[in-house]
Amino acid sequence: MLKPPILLIHGMWSTPATFDRLRPVLEAAGHATHAPVLPFHDRPASLPPPEALGSLSITAYVDFLVAEAGKLGTPPVILGHSMGGLLAQLVALRVPHAGLVLLSPAAAANSQSPGLDPVRTLKNVVLKWGWWERPTLCDEAGARWGIFNGVPEAETAAEIAALVWDSGRVLAEMALPPLFGSVTRVEYARLSQPALVLVGTDDRITPPGIARATARNLNGGNGGRVDYHELPGAPHWLFWGELEGRVAAMVVDWLNTLS
């Protein structure tokens, strides 16, 4: 039986390089992979950001990803990390798919879990007036504290150097949904395919409460076909060392349960 392809969606300030070590594992398990780069995410942060990026809505990202999913020829499993986890849900509302894998998912408008840790992580971004309509970039202090906490220094430094500009509008739509049209709301009743949700207990930018709410909402929509796991001591960034291998194994094991 032909296994479904996997559409991989990276997170905010990131690129498809997030999945460079995960993709060979998925492909060895028999799944073709496709990891598109979101609009304007293909240039290093050392270059000035495109002005248009700042006001780009999350709906533009979703439209782009829907078109990418259409290139695969068969319903994919949609896998996303962080913002990519939210995008995966929004894309799944619009395309046939075989399942969802949500790693450290960002909150939909209806899966919020307020806390102080995301505020501390993002404070140097959101204290700049007009951030909601300008390109944004997570600062090093925030990234170290809230995204790469617990990650070895060599990996942390390399990942921070690889961060790229992202849309202030998208960040605002995720963080303050009522003020920006609640365009991140997910109609969970329409998501009926199996789902896997993974999150680290030490995730500070998309804390476990968000993943729990997401899993509950998905569970209510599809009658219990949701596997939910919290990874003890793991941070938001899951792609390093033994942790990455464990996450990859969990994803492959779950994929093997799909009929």
Answer yes or no: is pLDDT of 222 > 60.
no
Predicted pLDDT of residue 87? 98
Answer yes or no: is pLDDT of 48 > 90.
yes
Segment 106-158, tens digit of pLDDT: 999 999 998 999 999 999 999 999 999 999 999 999 999 999 999 999 999 99
Domain ranges of the chain: 6-255
Segment 176-211, tens digit of pLDDT: 999 999 999 999 999 999 999 999 999 999 999 999
C-alpha to C-alpha distance for 17 and 173, rounded to whole angstroms: 25
C-alpha to C-alpha distance for 226 and 100, rounded to whole angstroms: 9
Predicted pLDDT of residue 62? 98
DSSP string, 203-222: -SSS-HHHHHHHHHHHHHHH
Q: Which fold has domain 6-255?
A: Rossmann fold (3.40.50)
Q: Which amino acid is at 227?
A: D
Predicted pLDDT of residue 220? 77
Cα-atom radius of gyration of the chain, to the nearest Å? 17
C-alpha to C-alpha distance for 145 and 168, rounded to whole angstroms: 20
Q: DSSP E strands: which ranges in the chain?
A: 6-9, 33-34, 77-81, 99-103, 135-136, 166-167, 195-200, 226-231
Residue 27 sits at φ, ψ, to 5 deg, of -70, -35
Whole-number percent of the chain with pLDDT over 70 = 98
Predicted pLDDT of residue 51? 87
pTM above 0.85, yes or no: yes
Pairing assessment for the beta strands 135-136 and 166-167 based on DSSP bridges: antiparallel
For residue 88, give the DSSP letter.
H
Pairing assessment for the beta strands 195-200 and 226-231 based on DSSP bridges: parallel
Residue 85 CB neighbours (<10 A): 29
Answer yes or no: is pLDDT of 171 > 70.
yes
H/E element holding 142?
helix 140-146
Predicted pLDDT of residue 225? 87
Mean pLDDT of the chain: 96
